[in-house]
């Protein structure tokens, strides 16, 4: 991770096809295309890889989450349960629809704690949205049981977890809807892009219309298309899809490299008794894009993280103080900083996040360091990196 490390001839070939045709838009201009429909090809390839009937590409992972929620009719005042440890896009997509993001603690999986989720369910709850952060998954069996018990939608945010599996099924394919991000730093990239996957035809029909201004896409005359409902513009371009098409064909190659490098590092760090690792639910397999481990205390984790950077060990993240990924630095959400007036449902329904107790999340995230696993590192480089990390960690334990 990320896929841009290994751009090559496959990516150049797919992009050149689009440039040669001159058609950068995914819809229309049939006669100019020379048979190239990169978005459609990528959707078909993703459908096969993710073992789902329907795939619709959009402009980003954030767009995928927004579109997925909208396809299921989520709107003003509806509550969506999400984790305290995620990317800001999780609550942005919810708020964009006038819905309420309900933050819930994570456990040793670094994803939603099912017990905390059940306690957060109200009559307004419509969706449970686990986020498979850093390549590993939530307790999906437990969350699915809650969805069945309370008649809720399960939306998998698998934006960081493509290639991971749970009980033999691709992550993202297990819930009612799944979402992926293909931005520049993901395991496979389109530069910018995302996808919604589902086995529900109704959700798919809503998704491709909603993401293109409500166009119904019936017939071959775009100007004659009807608008069954309001929509917005979340379209992907053919150039972005072309890059993604090449990258998807290399996913197994990337996952194998990540697994090799991850395994070298994990085996080395396992020799330190004080280091423990995030729990992967039984039956799950990570995509090996990050190695996340726990240290004995918050102070030790902070000191180790600083020392790793000072000793030239890059690409290690301490999420507890991270502006993008942990609730403690989401002041714009806590204080509802918006350019315009937010819907009254949001103002009235949003919890007072300045005073909510998320100490259960702090217990885990405060002790976590996650190491990005790069594709370009050789086995020798990984072993040298592991040796240096052991030296740094042991100096603080």
Q: Is 387 a catalytic residue?
A: no
What the block records as the tokens of 107 is 């456990």
Three-state SS across 52-75?
CCEEEEECCHHHHHHHHHHHCCCC
What the block records as the tokens of 222 is 């775009």
Among 63, 9, 17, 62, residue whose Cα is nearest residue 249: 9
- Catalytically annotated residue among 186, 259, 380, 387: 186
Contacts of 243 (CB under 8 A, 6+ apart): 11, 14, 15, 189, 190, 191
Strand stretches in 176-295, DSSP E: 177-181, 194-198, 276-277, 284-285, 290-294
In the block, residue with structure tokens 């995030």: 278
Whole-number Å distance between alpha carbons of 236 and 221 = 20
CB neighbours of residue 146 within 10 Å: 20
List active site positions: 186
């Amino acid at each position: 991770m990320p896929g841009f490390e290994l751009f090559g001839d496959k990516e150049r070939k797919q992009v050149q096809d689009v440039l040669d045709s001159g058609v950068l838009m995914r819809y229309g201009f049939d006669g100019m295309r020379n048979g190239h429909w990169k978005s459609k090809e990528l959707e078909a390839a993703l459908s096969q890889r993710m073992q789902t009937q329907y795939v619709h590409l959009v402009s980003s992972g954030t767009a995928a989450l927004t579109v997925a929620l909208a396809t299921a009719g989520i709107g003003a005042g509806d509550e969506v349960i999400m984790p305290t440890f995620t990317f800001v896009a999780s609550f942005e997509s919810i708020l964009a629809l006038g819905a309420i993001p309900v933050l819930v603690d994570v456990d040793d999986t670094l994803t939603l704690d099912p017990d905390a989720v059940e306690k957060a369910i109200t009559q307004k709850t419509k969706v449970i949205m686990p986020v498979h952060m850093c390549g590993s998954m939530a307790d999906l069996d437990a969350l699915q049981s809650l969805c069945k018990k309370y008649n809720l939608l399960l939306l998998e945010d698998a934006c960081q977890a493509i290639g991971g599996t749970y009980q033999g099924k691709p992550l993202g394919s297990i819930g009612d809807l799944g979402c992926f991000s293909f931005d520049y730093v993901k395991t496979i990239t389109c530069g910018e892009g995302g996808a919604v996957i589902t086995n529900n035809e109704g959700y798919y029909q809503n998704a491709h219309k909603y993401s293109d201004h409500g166009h119904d896409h019936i017939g071959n005359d775009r100007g004659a298309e009807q608008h069954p409902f309001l929509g917005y513009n979340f379209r992907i371009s053919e150039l972005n899809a072309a890059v993604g098409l090449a990258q998807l064909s290399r996913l197994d190659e990337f996952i194998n490299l990540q697994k090799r490098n991850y395994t070298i590092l994990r085996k080395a760090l396992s020799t330190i008794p004080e280091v423990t690792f995030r729990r992967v639910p039984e039956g799950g397999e990570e995509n090996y894009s990050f190695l996340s481990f726990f240290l004995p205390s918050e102070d030790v984790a902070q000191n180790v993280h600083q020392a790793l950077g000072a000793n030239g060990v890059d690409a290690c993240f301490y999420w507890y103080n991270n502006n993008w990924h942990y609730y403690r630095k989401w002041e714009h959400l806590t204080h509802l900083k918006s350019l315009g007036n937010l819907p009254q449902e949001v103002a009235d329904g949003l919890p007072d996040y300045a005073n909510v107790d998320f100490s259960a999340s702090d217990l885990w995230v405060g002790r976590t360091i996650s190491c990005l696993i790069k594709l370009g590192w050789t086995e020798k480089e990984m072993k040298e990196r592991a040796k240096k990390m052991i030296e740094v960690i042991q100096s603080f334990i």
